[in-house]
Amino acid sequence: MKLLPLVRGRGPLSPASRAGIGAALVLLALVSAVELADGREPNYVGLIAAAPFLAAVFAGWRVVLLIGVLATLVALGFNLAAPEPTLQSGVNVAGVTLATAIAAVVASLRERQAERIAELARLATVAQQAVLRPIGPQVGGLAVAGRYVSATAAADIGGDLYEALDTPYGVRIIVGDVRGKGLDAVRLASIVLGSYRHVAYERADLRAVVADLDRAVARSVGDEDFVTAVLLEERGGTLSIVNCGHPAPLLLRRGATIPLEPPATAPPLGFMPVVQTRVERLEPGDRLLLFTDGLGEARRDGEFFPTADRAWGLLGHGRVDDGLASLETALVEWVRGRLDDDIALVLMEYTGANGAAERPAPSWEFNTAAPDPR
């Protein structure tokens, strides 16, 4: 189309602009065909005024102006071809011109709003990336991968969190979910992760880590805000898990999927959880999936995604990051692209004993017992 280079401006036309041009041209062609079939009297020329408005729904103001000029020329041509000019003919041409001006203003406002939303989305993505640092592919003796699946295409932002650290006490991983969404949730997630990245290196007991995180959350939220979390520690093949109101991790072993439920339930962070530690002995090749409740609540036609049934088939082969990619693809297909909640995923594989078991606790460690909740 020879007209396209005139409206490209700073770059190629977007698919939306092309759609706007196409829809407007189709309308002009239909009105012209009806007008020609009806005779020389311009009875339907006024309908041409809809063309720039139709373009304004999809395209930018430059495209709208071009379509408006074309529509005005078409209207003027039909009026000049009429047996005798009438006042109505002049009104029709003026109406198309006015419609073009109004549509261009509307398109300009829509473009500015779209640019603002795009900028907010970019800022949200930067904020999310600042909170959730990349993890893996190897942390201590574990192959680890993390993935954040956003429920909205507008921005990858929410309160789901994860981190994996190689500490003097072994590899420690946290996966959590802040109540709520948006920037407030990101702020609280950053507080939890900031505290965790500090105390994970200082506390020998996961229960003490939980107590420190609970105090950090309690200082930063209201009475009804909280953070569910699961923390694990791998040291020389021994896996320790504490759970604060969070979905139980799934252990993938020799084709089986085993939920690692806590010995006793505990409330989320912010509600003074008193946790009990579950201890497992890992075997080389074992994989562990940690996730937030967006995975368990993903459903289609009222049927929940069968995570446990499909976990081994999706996650039991290839690299851990390949496994998470397969899980995300299957999940998106299951919900037909419409997730209700963000999801944080961490998949780890135990590749064998490592030196972490032999490392002594640092001499500066102190107060390793879980603090008195009073």
In the block, tokens 């189309």 appear at: 1
* pLDDT of the residue at 87: 62
Instruction: Encode 47-63 in three state secondary structure.
Output: HHHHHHHHHHHHCCHHH
**Residue 140, SS3?**
coil
* SS3 label, residue 83: coil
Is the pLDDT reported for residue 245 higher than 70?
yes
User: Which tokens belong to 72?
Assistant: 């005005």
Confidence of residue 122 (pLDDT cuts 50, 70, 90): confident
**Average pLDDT rounded to a whole number, residues 59-68:** 85
Mean pLDDT of 316-331: 94
Higher pLDDT, 25 or 328: 328
Q: Which residues have a Cβ under 8 Å from the Cβ of 173 and sit 6 or more positions away?
A: 139, 144, 162, 163, 164, 165, 231, 232, 233, 234, 290, 346, 348
Q: Please give the order of strands across the beta sheet that includes 256-259.
A: 138-139, 142-149, 343-350, 287-291, 250-253, 256-259
- With a cut of 50, say whether residue 359 has pLDDT above it: no
Q: For the ranges 77-91, 253-267, 272-286, which has the lowest average pLDDT?
A: 77-91
Where do the CATH 3.60.40.10 domains begin and end in the chain? Answer: 133-358
Average pLDDT, the chain: 83
**Torsion sign over Cα 146, 149, 154, 157:** negative
Q: What percent of the chain has pLDDT over 90?
A: 43
User: pLDDT tens-digit profile of 248-261?
Assistant: 999 999 999 999 99
Task: Name the token pair of 18.
Answer: 């092309």
More confident residue, 207 or 112: 207
Task: Please give the Cα distance from 133 to 150 (Å, whole number).
Answer: 16
Q: Report the sign of the C-alpha dihedral through residues 209, 320, 279, 251, in that order.
A: positive
Please enumerate in sequence order all residues whose Cβ is within 8 A of that of 6, keeping only pairs 6 or more positions apart, or say none: 66
Q: Is 39's pLDDT higher than 90?
A: no
Quote the strand ranges of 150-221, DSSP E: 160-167, 170-178
Mean pLDDT of all residues in 332-339: 87
Task: Supply the pLDDT for residue 63.
Answer: 85
> What does DSSP say about strands 170-178 and 250-253: parallel, antiparallel, or unpaired?
unpaired
Residue with tokens 């003027």: 76
Q: What percentage of the chain reaches a pLDDT higher than 70? A: 82
The DSSP secondary-structure symbol of 269 reads: B
Q: What is the pLDDT of residue 156?
A: 55
User: What per-residue confidence (pLDDT) applies to 363?
Assistant: 39
Q: Which residue has the higher pLDDT, 176 or 83?
A: 176
For residue 84, the tally of other CB atoms under 10 A from its CB is 6
Does position 360 have pLDDT exceeding 80, yes or no? no
Question: Measured between alpha carbons, how far is 14 from 24 in angstroms, rounded to an integer?
Answer: 16
Q: Give the tens place of pLDDT for each residue, 292-323.
A: 998 988 888 889 999 999 999 999 989 999 99
Asked whether the predicted pLDDT for residue 102 surpasses 60, the reply is yes
Q: What is the mean pLDDT of residues 7-36?
A: 73
Distance CA 169, CA 361 (A): 7
Question: Residue 86: is its pLDDT beyond 50?
Answer: yes
Closest by CA position to 125, among listed 154, 96, 87: 154
Predicted pLDDT of residue 366 = 35
pLDDT at 15 exceeding the cut of 80: no
What's the mean pLDDT in 198-211? 96
Longest dimension (CA), the chain: 102
pLDDT at 114: 83
pTM above the 0.75 mark? no
Q: Record the tokens describing residue 9, joined without a space.
A: 């401006």
In this prediction, residue 37 carries a pLDDT of 78
Separation CA 9–CA 320 (nearest Å): 44
Q: What class has domain 133-358?
A: alpha beta
